[in-house]
Amino acid sequence: MVDEVNPFESLQEQIDDAAEYLDADEGMIDRLKQPERVLETTLSVEMDDGSIETFRAYRSEFNGDRGPYKGGIRYHPGVNRAEVKALSGWMVYKCAAVDIPYGGGKGGIEIDPSEYSESELERITRTFATELRPLIGEDKDIPAPDVNTGQREMDWIKDTYETLEDTTEPGVVTGKSLDNGGSKGRVEATGRSVSITAREAFEYLDRDISEATVAVQGYGNAGSIGARLIEDQGADVVAVSDSSGAVYDPDGLDARAVKEHKSETGSVVGYEGASRQLTNEELLTLDVDILVPAALENAIDADLAEDVSADVIVEAANGPLTPDADDVLADRDVYVVPDILANAGGVTVSYFEWVQNRQRFAWTEQRVNEELERLVTDAFDAMTTAYEERGTPNFRTAMYTVSIQRVLDAAEKSGLFP
């Protein structure tokens, strides 16, 4: 992990790179590079032993030109203001990439959740939800899961909000359990867009994904499901990692079996079907066709990018490449499917969940997956068209030109007020 790169500066650099290809007012572009507001708050929570602990927490609302702020809530010791601002900005351009009517937001608590009991985590989450109450709402700002949060936390936030507001408003958060208004297909959605975009990239390059080898960094929700769905297309997932290390088999691991091993033991390490272990760095430079970084930001910097051997990188994680790494990879003709498209399945099915909540009508899983396929492939086509017509150096800048133009069009038609 490369710590010195500020993810917020990476975001701003990505916007500047794309703006060069657009005929846009400089002031309007500057406006798209800063969050509209950031809540920074301290949560004071009673622990099981009666002591009080405090936690730093954030919610950034980046831009609402295209609709309510939308974005996840992360629990991680590395959460900080710059990270939350960057993640909220990436959400704006991600929602615009798949053309869903949302702006971008993101939140997080600086915490290692593995050190707390379930009842402590519930009190911490409900305290955060209470702080968020003035900001959130199904037409205002809609949280969702991110790293180390899931259905359980979303159900607590929904319940806290509805209790305090004396209402029922399931669309106030997405990523809820099915029993509480969640959508079929939501858990798989991020991995599904990773696998759809991997397939589309291979088609674009006139290559057959069923002959591809794949390495996945980070075997959590996005990584393990992405791996499974790429494997289902006939590819061989040869290496996967988590924070404890990596496992490898040149003939292919069994993505489902590795996941089972991780669920039982807490790690992919020790999986018996692997021929050997690798370090996390060895995994990132392995000679494979597709590399899927699915852990955290800044996993690959310019130095490491020189040693990446994959032909295609599909960014399941948010911001896994530094801007310098992007430049190196573009020079080396490595195709990168950017995070704002590759992992947009999560927010897209979150959007479907919100639509279903408002309709009070649940869709079938087939409908969810078909609509997801349509929005993600449309976005992929918009990106490759921009790549060819605008002559951008890589897919990322092309996707940003499409997204930024969509946000600019909405802002321009609304006008600035006051």
Catalytic residues: 106
Q: For ligand NAD, which is the closer residue by CB, 148 or 183?
A: 148
Smallest distance, ligand NAD to C-beta of residue 264, A? 14
Strand partners, 42: 56
For the chain, first and last CA: distance in Å? 43
Q: Taking a C-beta distance cutoff of 8 angstroms, is the pair 79, 87 a contact?
A: no
Q: Kindly tell me which residue out of 10, 12, 125, 241 binds ligand NAD, with binding defined by CB under 6 A.
A: 241
Q: For ligand NAD, which is the closer residue by CB, 183 or 217?
A: 217
Q: Is 350 part of any known ligand binding site?
A: yes
- Residue 285 touching ligand NAD (CB under 6 A): no
Q: How far is Cα 366 from Cα 364, in angstroms, rounded to an integer? A: 5
Task: Tell me which amino acid residue 334 is.
Answer: V
- Residue 243 touching ligand NAD (CB under 6 A): yes
Phi-psi sector, 100: left (phi>0), alpha (psi -120 to 50), beta: beta
Q: Which of 59, 11, 32 is nearest to 340 (CA)?
A: 11
Smallest distance, ligand NAD to C-beta of residue 362, A? 20
Q: Kindly tell me which residue out of 57, 296, 368, 398 binds ligand NAD, with binding defined by CB under 6 A.
A: 296
- The upper half-sphere exposure of residue 329, i.e. CA atoms within 13 Å in the direction of its Cβ, equals 29
- Using omega within 30 degrees of 0 as the cis cutoff, is the peptide bond preceding 145 cis? no
Kindly provide the residue ranges of all beta strands, DSSP E only, lying in 77-210, ordered along the sequence.
104-110, 141-145
- Residue 217 touching ligand NAD (CB under 6 A): yes
Smallest distance, ligand NAD to C-beta of residue 74, A? 7
Over the window 53 to 92, marking each residue x when it contacts ligand NAD by CB under 6 A and - when it does not, the resulting string is ----------------------------------------
Instruction: Measure CA 206 to chain center.
Output: 27
Smallest distance, ligand NAD to C-beta of residue 2, A? 11
Q: Taking a C-beta distance cutoff of 8 angstroms, is the pair 73, 91 a contact?
A: no
- H or E stretch at 335: strand 335-337
Q: Taking a C-beta distance cutoff of 8 angstroms, is the pair 213, 251 a contact?
A: no
Q: Is 413 part of any known ligand binding site?
A: no
Choices 57-65, 115-123, 199-207, 238-246 (CB under 6 A): range interacting with ligand NAD: 238-246
Subset of residues 346 to 385 that bind ligand NAD, contact rule: CB under 6 A: 346
Q: Kindly tell me which residue out of 71, 218, 323, 338 binds ligand NAD, with binding defined by CB under 6 A.
A: 218
Nearest residue (beta carbon) to ligand NAD: 220
Smallest distance, ligand NAD to C-beta of residue 49, A? 27
Q: Report long-range pairs for 166-169 (Cβ below 8 Å, ≥24 apart).
A: 169/137, 169/138
Q: Taking a C-beta distance cutoff of 8 angstroms, is the pair 242, 208 a contact?
A: no
Subset of residues 125 to 164 that bind ligand NAD, contact rule: CB under 6 A: 146-148
Q: How far is Cα 174 from Cα 182, in angstroms, rounded to an integer? A: 7
Smallest distance, ligand NAD to C-beta of residue 297, A? 7
Binding residues for substrate: 70, 94, 350
The binding site comprises 70, 94, 190, 221, 350
Q: Which residues bind ligand NAD (CB under 6 A)?
A: 1, 146-148, 190, 217-223, 241-243, 280, 294-296, 316-318, 343, 346
Q: Which residues are annotated as a binding site for NAD(+)?
A: 190, 221
